[in-house]
């Protein structure tokens, strides 16, 4: 007998009392979505910028290796999207479109079709996500409702830059992945 059969048969041989699957009510938070989202992102150690604030930061930083998949900021790109993610090693900035954000925790949904390469938001040194404030959802419940029918091979809720507190619980931003996250309203 294969392990598959063994495991499934063992489970099926047990008398397990039926337990109903609960419905999930439409739970919501309260307060202004943009305000809560912004507060959440800062709590996660990211930043939220207006378009002009972003442009000012970008121009003053003088990056030379920039990939932009956001149509509104395509002019800022200095590099095309490579075929091999290993070429992202020295990438300084990635600019991506976020699909929507969640106010309660700052999570932004990113999907395969907008990522170019799945490694992009992780491997880049600085990550910029372009987001429409009207796209904000209240809690994760509404977030999952929104992507109930989505079928992309990969998607993620990204809520901040790479961070760790593994050394004496001191928070350090920029562990293995992106060292910063900037969310830009458009």
Partner 1 sequence: MTHPENAAEFLKDSQKAKWHDETLWFVRDKRDKVSKSIPEWEQLRELASGIKNNVLANLADYLEEFERNATKNGIIVHWAADSEEHNRLVLEILQQQDCRAVVKSKSILTEECHLNPYLEKHGIEVVDTDLGERIVQFLNQPPSHIVLPAIHLKKGEISELFHEKLKTEKGNEDPTYLTQAARVHLREKFFAAKVAITGVNFGIAETGEFVVCTNEGNADMGVHLAQVHIACMGIEKILPRRKDLGVFLRLLARSATGQPITNYNSHFRSPTPGKEIHIILVDNGRTAQLAREKFRNSLKCIRCGACMNTCPIYRRSGGFSYNSTVPGPIGSILSPGLDLKKHSSLPFASTLCGSCTDVCPVKINIHEQLYEWRQEVTKTQGEFAKGLAMKLANGIFKSPLAYKITGSLMRNAVKSLPNSLIYHPLNIWGKNRNLPDPPMESFQQWYRKNRA
Q: Strands 93-97 and 66-68: what pairing?
A: parallel
- Using CB under 8 A as the binding rule, whether residue 57 contacts partner 1 is answered as no
By CB under 8 A, tell whether 172 contacts partner 1. Answer: yes
Give 28 or 51: the residue with its C-beta nearer to partner 1. Answer: 28
SS3 label, residue 127? strand
Is position 50 an interface residue for partner 1 (rule: CB under 8 A)?
no
Q: Give yes or no for residue 16 binding partner 1 (CB under 8 A).
A: yes
Contact 184, 51 (CB under 8 A): yes
Tokens 């800022």: give the residue.
Answer: 76
User: Smallest distance from the beta carbon of 107 to partner 1, in angstroms?
Assistant: 5
Residues 38, 172: contact at Cβ < 8 Å?
no
* Binding-residue pattern over the window 127 to 166 for partner 1, x denoting contact by CB under 8 A: ------------xxx-xxx-xx--xxxxxxxxxxxxxxxx
Q: What is the DSSP letter of 86?
A: G
129: β partners: 96, 183
CB-CB contact of 159 with 109 (8 Å): no
Question: Is 68 or 105 the residue whose CB approaches partner 1 more closely?
Answer: 105
72 binds partner 1 (CB under 8 A): no
Among 117, 129, 131, 184, the residue binding partner 1 under the rule CB under 8 A is 117
- Among residues 36, 40, 74, the alpha carbon closest in space to that of 181 is found at 40
Q: Is 96 in the site for partner 1 (CB under 8 A)?
A: no
What is the maximum alpha-carbon separation in the chain?
67
**Site residues (CB under 8 A) for partner 1?**
2-4, 6-8, 10-12, 14, 16-22, 24-25, 27, 40, 43-44, 85-86, 89, 104-107, 117-119, 122-123, 139-141, 143-145, 147-148, 151-170, 172, 174-178
């Amino acid at each position: 007998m294969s392990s598959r059969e063994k495991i499934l048969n063992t489970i099926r041989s047990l008398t397990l009392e039926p337990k109903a699957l609960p419905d999930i009510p439409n739970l919501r938070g309260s307060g202004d979505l943009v305000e809560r989202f912004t507060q959440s992102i800062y709590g996660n150690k990211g930043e939220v910028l207006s378009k002009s604030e972003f442009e000012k930061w970008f121009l003053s930083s003088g990056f030379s290796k920039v990939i932009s998949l956001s149509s509104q900021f395509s002019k800022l790109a200095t590099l095309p999207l490579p075929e091999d993610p290993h070429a992202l090693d020295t990438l300084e900035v990635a600019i991506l479109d976020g699909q929507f954000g969640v106010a309660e925790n700052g999570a932004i949904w990113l999907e395969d079709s907008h990522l170019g390469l799945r490694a992009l938001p992780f491997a880049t040194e600085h990550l910029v996500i372009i987001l429409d404030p009207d796209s904000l959802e209240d809690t994760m419940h509404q977030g999952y409702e929104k992507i109930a029918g989505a079928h992309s091979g990969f998607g993620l809720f990204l809520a901040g830059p790479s961070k760790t507190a593994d050394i004496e619980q001191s928070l350090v931003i920029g562990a293995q992945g992106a060292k910063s996250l900037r969310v830009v309203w458009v």
